[in-house]
Amino acid sequence: MSVEGGRKQGPGDENPVVLYLLAMPGYFETMGIRLVSGRFFDSQDEQPGGEPTVIVNESFAKLFWPGADPVDKRMQVAGWRGSRRVIAVVGDVKHYGLDKRMPPVFYVPYGQLPSHAMYGVVHTQGDPFLLVPALREIVHAADADVPIHDIKMMSQRVRDSMLLQVMYSWMFGVFGIIAAVMAFAGIYGVVSYWVGQRTQEIGIRVALGARAPEVTRMVIGQGLRLVAMGLGLGLVGALGLCRLLASTLYDVSPTDPWTFAGVGLLLMTAGALACYIPARRAARIDPMAALRYE
């Protein structure tokens, strides 16, 4: 591919991966694709004998015309007859999934390069499936042999494209809940055992005048120190493993500070609750019974 006034490809340079898509007038407006510069396709661009035009996305413009506006520049595609004039730059669109980076793309008017298959896009108010019978009649009126199938809402297509990521998120969520329950039970068991081992000490503290809130704070404080150490080790391990999860995330950094802070706060709260139950039991210890405890 060669472009006018843009990047020059050297003899040893590899050909970049570039996609081309077909679009009709109204497509970009219907899809809400952002216009960076220039104009969208109109009826004149659809004429088979009209001027060959093309619209490029931002990735295409940055690759072939870095730092310049490609509008009104010309590009030549290998194997295609003649050159095409760039009439607009539009925003990048994730055609193949929200988690996949979109390569450089240029759009060609459908009327200049018709295909045997195409997708139609309709923007409606209310329930879009109520318009399906009317749309079928319109298409069949134009050509009765054209089949219509695979009718879906755009939100459903987005969900379908993220099916694997959604499955991963549910799986990790279930495992996370199981791990949290096990951690809660483990903290409760350790602190309960620790209280049982120090029953006489706690009883002596109460006999010497320690009040119930002081005993509760002592038990919770020592339990939370263990929780904090375990949480610190867990965060270090999570930072080391977060790169393995990067491919399952969309629009979220693997080291997102808010996520780590939220999870840490949640675990500390669960740890405090697990410590509070045996701490309340320790605060109610009868000093005489504790001194006789073996």
Residue pLDDT, tens place only, 130-160 = 888 888 888 888 888 888 888 888 888 888 8
User: What does the block give as tokens for 70?
Assistant: 């490609």
Residue pLDDT, tens place only, 218-272 = 888 888 888 888 888 888 888 777 777 666 666 677 777 888 888 888 888 888 8
- Average pLDDT score over the chain: 81
User: What does the block give as tokens for 106?
Assistant: 């240029």
pLDDT at position 38 is: 92
Residue pLDDT, tens place only, 43-64 = 888 887 788 999 999 999 998 8
Task: Please name the residue ranges forming H helices in 79-128.
Answer: none
Higher pLDDT, 15 or 158: 158
Residue pLDDT, tens place only, 185-224 = 888 888 777 777 777 777 777 777 778 788 788 888 888 8
In 3D, which of 49, 48, 168 has the Cα closest to residue 99? 168
Predicted structure pTM score:
0.63
d(CA 44, CA 24): 11
Q: Each residue of 44-63: b (16+ CB within 10 Å) or e?
A: ebbeeeeebbbbbbbbbbbb
> For residue 12, what pLDDT band results from cuts at 50, 70 and 90?
low
Q: Are 136 and 148 in contact (CB under 8 A)?
A: yes
pLDDT at position 293 is: 53
